[in-house]
Homo-oligomer: A and B are copies of this chain.
Amino acid sequence: MKMKEVRVVIVGFGVIGRGVLQTLREKQGFIRGKHGVNIKVSAICEIDGSVISNEGLDLDKVLDKPLNKNKFWTDKKTRDVIINTQSDIVVELTPGNIKTGEPGLSHILTAISAKKHVATSNKAPFAVAYKRIMDSARKNKVSVRFEATVGGAIPIMNLMDECLSVNKVESAYGILNGTTNYVLSQMSDEGVELDSAVKEAQQLGYAEPDPSYDIDGVDSAAKVVILANALLGMDVSYEDMKVTGIREITPEAIDLAKKHGFTVKLVGDVLRLEVSPRLVSVDHPLNVSGSLNALMLNTDVAGDVTIVGRGAGSRETSSSIIADIVTISKEL
* A residues in contact (CB < 8 Å) with B: 23, 27, 30-31, 34-35, 153-155, 158-159, 162-168, 185, 282-285, 287-289, 292, 294, 299, 301-310, 313, 315-316, 318-320, 322-323, 326-327
Chain B residues with CB below 8 A from A316, complex form: 301-303
Would B303 and A285 count as touching, CB distance under 8 A?
no
Chain B residues with CB below 8 A from A165, complex form: 34-35, 323, 326-327
Minimum C-beta distance from A223 to chain B (A): 17
Q: Residue on B with the closest CB to A304?
A: B309
Q: Residue on B with the closest CB to A294?
A: B285
Chain B residues with CB below 8 A from A318, complex form: 166, 301
Would A164 and B319 count as touching, CB distance under 8 A?
yes
Would A305 and B307 count as touching, CB distance under 8 A?
yes
Minimum C-beta distance from A204 to chain B (A): 16
Would B162 and A162 count as touching, CB distance under 8 A?
yes
Q: Give the number of times this chain occurs in the complex, counting copies.
A: 2
Given contacts A159-B159, A292-B285, A308-B308, contact A166 B303 (CB under 8 A): no
Would A301 and B166 count as touching, CB distance under 8 A?
no
Minimum C-beta distance from A146 to chain B (A): 14
Secondary structure of the A contact surface, majority rule: mixed
Q: Residue on B with the closest CB to A156?
A: B163
Tell me which of A166, A168, A306 has the highest count of chain B C-beta atoms within 10 A of its own C-beta. A166
CA distance A309 to B185 in the complex (A): 24
Chain B residues with CB below 8 A from A23, complex form: 166, 301
CA distance A282 to B154 in the complex (A): 22
Given contacts A166-B326, A282-B282, contact A302 B306 (CB under 8 A): no
CA distance A302 to B164 in the complex (A): 20
Cross-interface CB contact of A302 among B185, B282, B309, cutoff 8 Å: B309
Chain B residues with CB below 8 A from A315, complex form: 301, 303
Minimum C-beta distance from A257 to chain B (A): 14
Extra inter-chain contacts (15) besides given A162-B163, A163-B163, CB under 8 Å: A27-B166, A159-B159, A162-B162, A166-B318, A282-B282, A283-B287, A283-B288, A285-B308, A299-B319, A301-B315, A301-B316, A303-B313, A304-B310, A306-B309, A307-B308
